[in-house]
Structure 1
Amino acid sequence: MEELISLHKHWLNADAVKEVVATKVGGEHGLPEGLAEFAEFHSSFARLSVLYGLIYVVIEGYKELKCTNQKVDELLSQEEFVDALRLFRNSTFHYQKNPIPEKALKFLKFPESETWIRSLHLAFKKFFEAELPINEMMDKLNA
Structure 2
Amino acid sequence: MTKLPHRDSDPILRLHAHYFELADLMRGHANAIDREYYRRGRLSKKKNVTYAHYVITWLGFLYVVLEGIAEIQKSGILDNLPESFSSFKTRLSIISRCETDYIDRLRRFRNGTFHYQFTPDKQLQFLENDSETLRISKDLHNNLKDLFSDYRVNCMVVYAIEGRKDEVFW
Which range, TM-score by smaller chain? Answer: 0.7 to 0.9
CA drift of 1:44 comes to 0.9
4+ runs of 1 displaced by more than 3 Å?
A: 134-137, 139-142
2:44 matches 1:37 = yes
Partner residue of 1:49 out of 56, 67, 71: 56
- Find the aligned partners of 2:151 and 2:46 in 1 and give their Cα distance: 41
CA drift of 1:89 comes to 0.9
Which has a greater percent of helix? Answer: 2
**Code of the aligned partner of 2:112:** S
Equivalence for 2:162 = none
Equivalence for 2:81 = none
Number of residue pairs matched by the alignment: 128
**Code of the aligned partner of 2:25:** A
CA drift of 1:130 comes to 2.3
- Find the aligned partners of 1:70 and 1:96 in 2 and give their Cα distance: 33
Query: Which consecutive residues of structure 2, in runs of 5 or more, have no partner in the other structure?
Result: 37-42, 79-88, 160-166
CA drift of 1:71 comes to 4.2
The Cα offsets for residues 79-134 of structure 1, whole Å up to 9 and x where unpaired, read as 11101111111111111222xx1100111113611110001001111211222227
Over alpha carbons, which structure has the higher Rg? 2
Equivalence for 2:102 = 81
The Cα offsets for residues 41-93 of structure 1, whole Å up to 9 and x where unpaired, read as 2111111000000111100000100164254134x2x1111011111111111
2:128 matches 1:109 = yes
Q: Percent identity of the aligned residues?
A: 25
- Find the aligned partners of 1:89 and 1:133 in 2 and give their Cα distance: 30
Query: Which consecutive residues of structure 1, in runs of 5 or more, have no partner in the other structure?
Result: 27-35
